[in-house]
Amino acid sequence: MKIGLAADHGGYELKNQILIWLREAGFAVVDMGAHTYDGADDYPDLVHPLAEAVSAGQFDRGIAVCGSGVGAAIVANKSKGVRAALITETYSARQGVEHDDMNLMCLGGRVIGPELARELVLAFANATFSGEERHNRRLEKLKKLENQPK
């Protein structure tokens, strides 16, 4: 599985830790930035390219980190086919993939500790979509909503 990572200044330190954890666990990981700390950067400039890469199939999954995780989730969900959520506990990290085929997890670098973050990242990365009929039916409904003319 190939996982892309992105973070602004609020998630920069946690993103760097996530990169190490995922590589230690055997995942192929691409760091899309920020590559240096810049207290004036903006999360849309970093998270949007990650979401677009997930949308295009360049990554199987993505993880975005900003200060609270809220901004990252908002911008990630602007990309077609991206199913992103702010995750704060392990049940949703796993179940979001299993039931909803969540493909981009958002975390708050200023509100979550490193040990919980590690558990969330590994639960998300190791989870598998169930493929059950009811879950596929729901995904098809989401796709129809995405493709409706405005």
User: Domain range for residue 11?
Assistant: 2-147
Reply yes or no on whether 66 is catalytic.
Answer: yes
Exposed / middle / buried, residue 82 (Cβ in 10 Å: 0-12, 13-18, 19+): buried
Give me the pLDDT at residue 120, please: 98
CATH of residue 69's domain is 3.40.1400.10
CA distance 83 to 80: 9
Provide the residue type at 8 as one letter: D
| This prediction's pTM | 0.96
Q: Which two tokens stand for residue 73?
A: 């989730």
Catalytic residue (choose from 9, 35, 48, 66): 66
Domain count, the chain: 1
* Model pLDDT for residues 48-102, shown as the tens digit of each residue: 999 999 999 999 999 999 999 999 999 999 999 999 999 999 999 999 999 999 9
106 is catalytic: no
Catalytic residue among 48, 99, 106, 135: 99
Peptide linkage before 34 cis (omega within 30 of 0): yes
